[in-house]
Amino acid sequence: MPTRRILLIDDDPIFSTVLQHVLSREGYQVEQLADGRAATERVHSETPPPDLVVSDIMLPFLDGFQLVAIMRSNTAWERIPIVMLSAKGQESDIQHALDNGADDYLVKPFQHGELLARIRRFLR
Amino acid sequence: MNQEMAVILVRSVEFLFLVYFLLLNGGLFVLHLIAAWSVRHYMARHPAHGAGIDRATYSGFFPPIGVIVPAFNEEATITTTIHSMMQLHYPSFEVIVVNDGSKDRTLEVAIEEFGLQPFREVHRARLATKTVRGVYRSVRYPNLRFIDKENGGKADALNAGINACVSPLFCGVDADSILQNDSLTKCVLPFLEDRRTICAGGTIRIANGCEVDQGLLLRSGLPRHPLALLQVVEYLRAFLFGRLGWSPMNGLLIVSGAFGLFERETVVQAGGYSPSTIGEDMELVVRLHRRMIEESRPYRITFVPDPICWTEAPESLKVLGSQRTRWQRGLAESLWRHRSLLFRPGSGAVGWFSFPYMLVFECIEPVVEVGGLVFFALCVAFGLVGWSEAVLFLGLVQALGMLQTVNAVLLEEVSYRTFPATRQILTMIAASVLESIGYRQLNTWWRLKGLVQWATGRKHKWGKMTRSAAWSSGASPK
Amino acid sequence: MTSSSESSWVVFTGNWMEWTARIPGVAPGSSWSSRMGFLLFVGTVLAVVLFTVSILALHFLNDRRLRREKAWKDRWLLQLLDPRAQGKVEPLHEAQFIAFCDLWSQVDGSIRGSLREEMIEAVRRAGTQELCVKFLRKGTFREKLLAAGLSGQLRIRETIEHLLPLADSPDPALSLTACHSILRMDADAHFRDFLPRLLENELWPVAQVHEILSEMPPELVSSRLPSALVEWEPAPPARAVRMLDLLPEDLRAQVIERVFRKSAEIAPETEAALLREIRSPEHLPLARQALTSSRWPVVVAALHTMARMGSREDVPMLSELLGHSEWWVRYRSAQALVRLPGIRPIELELLATRHPDRYGRDMLRFALAEMGMR
């Protein structure tokens, strides 16, 4: 099986590093982006889409909701699973994200076993 | 005999000018010392990299904040402004945009972009304002409200926002202010650390030359335009010494209108912003001081040295001149309106230090400066003062001015390092040296004009500030 | 002025003139004051130069320090993340304590579970115990606060004796952090003492207290919280009632019933909090009855419950409340109406056009729009 590629979009460098570490330890290939605009450019670029997207909701320039809409309107990205990350206490955002086309969500701080289990479920 | 009298007269006037000069510089020296001390003190408590810890230690203690954004003819920028406000990192805040009877499509643009829905909402108008035409809520962002009202000026719009605000703290923000996502978290700390705090102001920096996108600061940078560059160092100096120096003794008289956090209830009781003044931001703070002192209520008005708000500086002499003229008018007006604070028993540092200092060394300073120059020029012309002495004195004045600004750059280096590259440091030092030759004199002239306008009570002709009539950036650095 | 002081003045000025004459640049015939001015001028210019030089020196020193600190932080982050580096953790120095706490708080805010436990193990080996005890005993306010938080996260039990006095500190952030840390380390011994304070102290944010209690062993909370609430005289404060959702359903129902039955005169805040905690259908009549209360916050709380558990038979009552004079009541009843199970969109549309109260119609329309967007 080829290495699975995950696109990670989060503007907090430490959180990204931790998450990236956890994922690469599991053998995933991780690509990191820090804001909504870079992510949009990535979607519109020629580079083939990743196997899964993990994105924060609060992002500079474009928030996670807008990002999901952009990905869902692009044929290549239409079916890529998207896992949203949300800060604790903003559970109303989650419903909104799921309604917008995200597939799953996780609350920060995340339980790393739980995250990995969900990712495995999507990449099976 | 007559000649002797004249010489004595001239000498005593000369002496008075010298005393003024010494007191002014002595006062500045003390302010510099206090500022240096408080930067050290503040940095020990809030290291530049410590925002993460503050979020963690005070999590749960952060009170809700209402961010009030008055807007007038902002159709071009309103979406960016609101988007940038929605991106603030703060546990609980709501954004209240007040459309002050814009003549353009500000309202329509916002309705379209944010899915605003008319919302019949009745709130108690505790502060009198012009008629509110409607309240809108966004179905997309639960914490966004939009108030549409008839034109009444910036103070009036802020008051309407305060009426609609339900949070215990509110933050008045200029629509063109550029914030950082941790601006609220930093500015709220004084309220958490000292329960007596009723108001906290933050450091304003110049946004020209910075990389800004959609209202968020990407990277700080220095402007290319010389006029803006001079304002960068001017703001550095003014904020460190004009504000930080006064804060530890609770004598802070100015909180910039571009970004200031207030306890809502206290402001409402004090009557809100005053629509009949030019410098509504300064007037409110002086009034808060006065009320607290009159009620003998313990209180704190604190200055946060962290740079938290960035504002666009005028790059044309005409606009800059009218801005400075207006600030000086506002200063004179606020001080005059609350003159009862002067040497009032029990008024502490406000009545005994900062108010008199502001009056003597800020408000009437341009008169003394221009008067002094004219006087010395006459003295030289009549041979009462030697050329060399006159040149020496002028040189001393310039050198002291440079020293202040260079000291500001020094303090910046030990604290926030907003402009970290070596080239930027050199540029700033060069600008500090140049600032006291030409720019300051120009400023004195504008301020004198403002003072004269205030004194003659002439209806101030609104300069063509960036956007419109009663609307102008209130980020006075002085 | 006495003659002696006059003569010393003459001596002084004489020396002054003599002395300053030797300085290059001073005109031989210039006056006393202009020489003074000249010196001041030279001094100021020198100061400007000195300041400039020190800015540059500081600048380069700071650059180097920041580079090192960054390298240090990156190294530490890797040490934390890589549990295989066991035994090779570099010791933590006093000067790095604040920077370390900053890093740790961010890492700690990112992850839960076994990886976090491994990290804690790594940090403990870096000598954090000694540092925490030291700063708790004699640190600045900030150091105490950080050390108190870190002690709890790392479960450094040696610090409990130093944390106990801090839990009585007048500063709410420090006292709550200390209390939290103590409970994290030894809940069995201290839960009983701290529970009343947690429920009562107005300065401690409810959300934070709720979070702390939710971390406690459930059996401890189940055994202590119900009696604390029921035995409160005359009735528990609203903030204490909000902790009810930490109890299992049967216990919660019992407490709600007993508090309602015990006192006829419950403060509206408490009553509202109790109503919001209703989860079991048998208590629904309590909420229905509260809809007619004269105190609007109580009605709002009851409407919260109706939005969760109401049924079609509540439509007339909710529709009547849609015309209430209080904004919040209208808002909540509209929210409850659009969420009622089994209600058809056409019914709501009808209500939104035919309701007698125009404010009520607006509110329902907004609630519908909000639902439509979601």
Is B117 an interface residue toward C (CB < 8 Å)?
Answer: yes
Confidence band, pLDDT 50/70/90 cuts, at residue C198: very high
Predicted local distance difference test score (pLDDT) of residue B477 = 44
Partner residue opposite C111 with nearest CB, options A12, A89, A112: A112
Residues near B41 by Cβ (< 8 Å), separated by ≥ 6?
B248
Mutate to test the interface with A, among B214, B217, B219 (most CBs of A within 10 A): B214
Q: What confidence score (pLDDT) does residue B263 get?
A: 94
Length of chain A: 124
Task: Give me the mean pLDDT over the C235-256 stretch.
Answer: 87
A54 pLDDT higher than 80: yes
pLDDT digits (tens, 9 = 90+) for B152-180: 889 999 999 999 998 899 999 988 888 88
- Contact status of C17 with chain A (Cβ, < 8 Å): no
Q: Is the minimum CB–CB distance between B86 and chain C shorter than 8 Å? A: no
Q: Chain A: give the shortest CA distance to residue C112, in Å.
A: 4
Looking at residue C7, what is its pLDDT? Answer: 60
Q: How far is the alpha carbon of C369 from chain B, nearest alpha carbon, in Å?
A: 7
pLDDT of residue B156: 93
Above 60 in pLDDT, residue B467? no
> Which of C44, C145, C208 is facing B400, going by the closest CB pair?
C44
pTM greater than the 0.80 cutoff? no
Answer whether residue C195 shows pLDDT above 50: yes
Q: What is the pLDDT of residues B70-110, one digit of tens each?
A: 999 888 888 888 888 888 888 889 999 999 989 999 999 99
Q: Does pLDDT of C41 surpass 70?
A: yes
Under an 8 A CB cutoff, do A58 and B213 touch? Answer: no
List, in order, residues 6 or more apart from C285 with CB less than 8 Å away.
none
Q: How far, rounded to the nearest angstrom, does the alpha carbon of residue C52 sit from its chain's CA centroid?
A: 42
pLDDT at C4 over 60: no
To the nearest whole Å, the CA of C164 is away from the closest chain B CA by 18
* Cross-chain Cβ contact B403/C146 below 8 Å: no
Q: Which residues contact A2 (CB under 8 A, 6 or more apart)?
A: none
Q: Which residue of C has its CA nearest to B52?
A: C102
User: How much of chain C, in percent, has pLDDT values that exceed 70?
Assistant: 88
- Provide the residue ranges of all domains of chain B, joining segments of one domain with +: 1-63+168-478
User: Does the structure show a pLDDT above 60 at B386?
Assistant: yes
For position B464, what pLDDT does the model report? 37
**What is the pLDDT, as a whole number, of residue B475?**
42
Closest C-alpha among C26, C20, C19 to residue B392: C26
| Predicted pLDDT of residue C374 | 38
Q: Residue C179 above 80 pLDDT?
A: yes
d(CA C282, CA B297): 51
User: For residue B283, what pLDDT is reported?
Assistant: 92
Nearest CA-CA distance, residue B396 and chain C, Å: 5
User: How far B26 CA lies from chain C's nearest CA (Å)?
Assistant: 13
Sorted by sequence, the CB contacts under 8 Å of residue B447 that are 6+ apart come out as B324, B325, B327, B328, B365, B366
What are the beta bridge partners of residue A32? A8
For the cut 70, the answer to whether the pLDDT of residue A17 exceeds it is yes
Contact between chains at B216 and A61 (C-beta distance less than 8 A)? yes
B55 at interface of C, judged by CB pairs closer than 8 A:
yes
- pLDDT for B52: 58
The whole-chain average pLDDT of chain B stands at: 85
pLDDT-derived band of residue B229, with 50, 70 and 90 as boundaries?
A: very high
What's the rounded mean pLDDT across residues B468-478? 40
Q: Looking at the complex, does the CB of residue C358 fall below 8 Å from at least one CB of chain A?
A: no
Average pLDDT over residues A93-121: 81
The answer to whether C145 contacts chain B (CB < 8 Å) is: yes
**Is residue B89 exposed (0-12), middle (13-18) or buried (19+ Cβ within 10 Å)?**
middle
Note whether C373 contacts B140, CB cutoff 8 Å: yes
ipTM score of the complex? Answer: 0.75
Q: Please list every residue in chain B whose beta carbon sits closer than 8 Å to the beta carbon of residue C359.
A: 120, 122
Does the structure show a pLDDT above 90 at B66?
yes
Look at the alpha carbons of C120, C121, C127, C131 in this order and tell me if their dihedral is positive or negative: positive
CA nearest to A11 within chain B: B181
All chains having 3 or more CB pairs closer than 8 angstroms to chain C: A, B
C-beta atoms surrounding B321 within 10 Å: 19
pLDDT average, residue stretch C197-225: 88
Q: Which residue has the higher pLDDT, B231 or C365?
A: B231
* Per-residue b or e along C307-328, where b marks 16 or more CB atoms closer than 10 Å to that residue's CB: bebbeeebbebbbbbbbbeebe
B237-246, B282-291, C4-13, C307-316: range with lowest mean pLDDT: C4-13
The answer to whether the beta carbons of residues B106 and B133 sit under 8 Å apart is: no
Which of C 229-288 lie inside 8 A of B, CB atoms? none
Q: What is the mean pLDDT of residues C247-254?
A: 87
CA distances from residue B249 to B73, B203, B285, B301, B339 in whole angstroms, order as listed: 40, 18, 15, 10, 20
C351-363 pLDDT, tens digit per residue, is 888 888 888 888 8
Ordered by where they begin, the domains of chain A are 5-123 (3.40.50.2300)
C110 touches chain A (CB under 8 A): yes
Report the range out of A50-59, B285-294, B385-394, C65-74 with the highest average pLDDT: B285-294
Interface membership of B373 toward C (CB under 8 Å) = no
Nearest CA in chain B to C143: B45
Chain A residues lying within 8 Å of C339, measured CB to CB: none
- Residue B478: which pLDDT band, with cuts at 50, 70 and 90? very low
What's the pLDDT at B446?
Answer: 94
Please answer yes or no on whether B87 and A92 come within 8 Å at the CB atom: no
Task: Check pLDDT > 90 for residue C297.
Answer: no
> What does the block give as tokens for B2?
């007559």
Inspect the interface and report whether the beta carbons of B216 and A89 lie closer than 8 Å: no
- The length of chain C, given as a count of residues: 374
Comparing alpha-carbon positions, the chain C residue that sits nearest to A21 is C81
Highest mean pLDDT pick, B262-266, C76-80, C257-261: B262-266
Residue B358 pLDDT > 70, yes or no? yes
Cα–Cα separations (whole angstroms), residue B85 to B93, B94, B242, C274: 10, 9, 28, 36
The pLDDT assigned to B443 comes to 92
Q: Inter-chain contact B414–C358, Cβ cutoff 8 Å?
A: no
Query: What pLDDT is attached to residue C254?
Result: 87
Peptide bond into B420 cis (omega under 30): no
* Res. B466: pLDDT tops 50: no
Interface contact C28, partner A, CB < 8 A: no
pLDDT in tens, C97-154: 877 887 887 787 777 777 788 788 878 878 888 889 898 988 887 788 888 988 988 8
Distance CA B258, CA B269 (A): 22
Interface contacts (A, C; CB < 8 Å): 47
Strand, helix or coil for residue B213: strand
On the question of pLDDT at A91 being above 70, the answer is no
Q: Do C374 and A113 touch (CB under 8 A)?
A: no
- What percent of chain B clears pLDDT 90, i.e. is strictly above it? 27
Task: Give the chain C residue nearest B414 (alpha carbons).
Answer: C58
Look at residue C8 in the predicted model and tell me its pLDDT. Answer: 63
Rounded to whole angstroms, the Cα distance separating B223 from B215 reads 17
**A99 part of contact set with chain C, CB < 8 Å:** yes
Q: How far is A87 from chain B (nearest CA, A)?
A: 10
Which pLDDT does position C164 carry in this prediction? 92
Cα–Cα distance measured from residue A65 to residue A68, given in angstroms and rounded to the nearest whole number: 5
DSSP letter for each residue of B119-174: --------S--SPEEEEEEESS-TTEEEEEE----HHHHHHHHHHH--SSEEEEE-
The angle, 0 to 180 degrees and rounded to 10, between the axes of the packed helices C141-154 and C114-125 is: 120
- Determine the distance in angstroms separating the CA of B46 from the nearest CA of chain C, rounded to an integer: 9
Other CB atoms within 10 Å distance of the CB of residue B271: 14
